[in-house]
Amino acid sequence: MKHALIKRAAEDILRVSHVTALTGAGMSAESGIPTFRDKGGFWERYDPEEYAHINTFYTAPEKPWQMFKAFEMQVKARPNAGHLALAEMERLGWLQEIIAQNVDDLHQEAGNSAVIEFHGNFRRAVCLSCGAYYEIKNISLDILPPRCRCSGVLKPDAVFFGEPIPQKAFMQAVEATRSCKVMLVVGTSAIVYPAADMPAIARQAGARVIEINPEPTSLTGWVSDYIILGKAGEILPALVEELKKMAL
């Protein structure tokens, strides 16, 4: 059953010239970074509604940075087999871009060059007063919150709850979504908007929407054409093998 669906996905991909992937927290689960839905641990200690809300920067800016430091320890993580498979798909011309909800930079580390950072990137920080950018690895996190040369509070350059999507990334994502012919939706529960709108927009524009996730999501049986039940690190490499078998 699973193999038949992987074969079907490979056929769908080889039939078209524009494939987009929309990825979420599940993509990095096998790299050791917990998803929001993982019970126990990280997000119970750091309630995202508080620690990842923009207002907290104005009331207790050290808190989101405490969360960031804990996340950073996880982000010593390396790309997993799923990330590497998507990088290979891009290299071989079977994937045109990734709309990444994750902020962990692992797609870029795996070698993908066309990555739309829908929710920003935890590798950079931005000054809330003057807008200057910093590479986080170059700033000290000994005293929180870290501050800009202008003394403004720095914020990781990711989209926090209560913040809009960066305009350029949003436009690029909508453009990719409207023009792709196949959308692979990997490791996202599709409950965080507006990213969760992209599969329905793709579908409306005529694309085939294929989910890869160990569990059904709010898209399953409604927006997506079919779901391949399984982990990203297992299904994506198998998909690449199938693509190679069929194409070469």
The catalytic residue positions are 119
Choose the binding region for ligand NAD from 26-34, 136-144, 149-157, 218-226 (rule: CB under 6 A).
26-34
Residues 72-131 that bind ligand NAD (CB under 6 A): 101-104, 119
Q: Does 215 bind ligand NAD (CB under 6 A)?
A: yes
Structure tokens at 156: 């990781």
Radius of gyration of the chain (CA): 18
Q: What is the dihedral of CA 109, 45, 197, 156, to 10 degrees?
A: -50
Residues 174-193 that bind ligand NAD (CB under 6 A): 186-189, 191-192
Residue type, 122: F
Kindly write out the interface string for residues 3-42 of this chain, putting x where it contacts Zn ion by CB under 5 A and - elsewhere.
----------------------------------------
Task: Please count the other Cβ atoms lying within 10 Å of the Cβ belonging to residue 129.
Answer: 12
Q: Rounded to a whole number, what is the distance in angstroms from the first to the last CA of the chain?
A: 24
Angstrom distance (rounded) from CA 246 to CA 139: 48
Choose the binding region for ligand NAD from 88-96, 162-170, 197-205, 214-222 (rule: CB under 6 A).
214-222
Binder to Zn ion among 92, 130, 171, 205 (CB under 5 A)?
130
Residue type, 167: Q
Structure tokens at 140: 């000290």
Structure tokens at 7: 């074969």
Angstrom distance (rounded) from CA 225 to CA 218: 13
Q: Which does 79 bind (CB under 5 to 8 A by kind): Zn ion, ligand NAD, none?
A: none
Nearest to 159, CA basis, from 121, 99, 119, 104: 119
With respect to ligand NAD, which residue has the nearer C-beta, 34 or 152? 34
Q: Which does 217 bind (CB under 5 to 8 A by kind): Zn ion, ligand NAD, none?
A: ligand NAD
Q: Which residues bind ligand NAD (CB under 6 A)?
A: 24-26, 28-30, 33, 35-37, 101-104, 119, 186-189, 191-192, 213-215, 217, 231-232
Using CB under 5 A as the criterion, which residues of the chain lie in contact with Zn ion when the complex forms?
Answer: 127, 129-130, 132, 148, 150, 152
